[in-house]
Amino acid sequence: MLLIPAIDLKDGRCVRLKQGDMDQVTVFSEDPAEMALSWVQKGARRLHLVDLNGAFAGKPQNLTAIRRILEAVGEDIPVQLGGGIRDLDTIERYIDLGLRYVIIGTAAVKNPGFLQDACSAFGGHIIVGLDAKDGKVATDGWSKLTGHEVIDLAQKYEDYGVESIIYTDIGRDGMLSGINIDATVKLANSMSIPVIASGGLSNMDDIRKLCAVEDEGVEGVICGRAIYSGDLDFAAAQAWADEHNG
């Protein structure tokens, strides 16, 4: 079970939002690269970056911070990033910078042809982020709720050749209310590619529950506010997961 620290970037700083609201911001570090390195030193084997400004602008906005993070952690730590990825040139630029995976969210829903092209051109590097509330997919930084069912879209994207799916329950994100285990497992059971859980991770109890369903196809979890607030000791949690799940 991979515990993947999230580093959300806004105006070059490491922040957390409450339910995706850009006006409800908590700043955790003025130096995201230093923060990234600290998580690696505590046992992180992958990092999750979000360009929050990019997600709303539709194009990269935190390139300097992203470049510094990649330089700080080195090539051995896979880094994935989402936010504002809308064209193949952006994907190519990010991969050339050293990103292992790019996460396509809104663009996957609105322009499935783009996702197909991305999977063809950059096979093994494409993750789809599906953000949902009550089983329906949301887009545009969670500001618009679509009529699409999560499982239907995920199965279509699996056929395109995406590497994995990040499933976020946006009703729980940033709220420390617990991972939506049932919905995550239901999604994982519907496909053969891995699912990464996201949204609402609160404490060690969530980690135990996730480890119990790892064999169902849940390979990891995005760790956000809980590891910044101290509700979850990241190093201890990753060590526990390794011991109990190998």
Of all helices (H) and strands (E), which one includes residue 131? strand 126-133
Q: Which two tokens stand for residue 166?
A: 């990040």
Give the CA count within 13 Å in the CB-facing half-sphere of 23: 0
Q: Residues 110, 167, 82, 133: is their CA dihedral positive or negative? A: positive
DSSP 193: S
Residue carrying structure tokens 């006006």: 23
Q: At 74, is the secondary structure helix, strand, or coil?
A: coil
- Give me the active site residues, please: 8, 131
| 83 within 8 A of 42, measured Cβ to Cβ | no
**Taking the chain, what is the end-to-end CA distance rounded to the nearest angstrom?**
8
Question: 63: how many CB neighbours lie within 10 A of its CB?
Answer: 15
